Amino acid sequence: MCKVSGGKGDRGTFIQYLQRVACGLDWNIYNWLGLQTVLPSDLCTSFASFGFPFNSCNKRRKGMKMIWHVVVWISWRARNAYIFENKASSVHDLVEEIKHISLKWFLAKGSASGCSEYEWVKYPFECLLR
């Protein structure tokens, strides 16, 4: 379970923002993928467990790892925008960006013949099998 700790001053606000975004992203991404799980407590556990339900299916496991990398990359960009540009992004906007960028990365691999953005958003696992 994600916990947002209290803090004082700008540092506390910054930490609260990062925790809120991280928890929101995790929950929304798992929800988008239709997965039910206990949210991991750290980044290493997150990576190890993200593709776990699909260990028997190489395409889905690789696709899940790709989505995980996009989540981390978008989270890092949101963190930098908050720190250096004082720009706070909503969880909804970040999730939509993750869906869009992960589809672009997936299509760039040339492995998804005919997977539209609608299909990717509604049925990502079916796209991963193409």
Locate the domains of the chain by residue range: 9-128
Over the stretch 24-40, which tens digit does the pLDDT of each residue have?
888 888 889 888 766 66
Residue 3 has a pLDDT of: 44
State the pLDDT at residue 52. 61
pLDDT tens digits, one per residue of 77-112: 998 998 899 998 999 999 999 999 999 999 998 765
Own/partner pairs, 97-102, CB within 8 angstroms, 24+ separation: 98/25, 98/29, 98/67, 98/70, 98/71, 98/74, 99/32, 101/70, 101/73, 101/74, 102/66, 102/67, 102/70
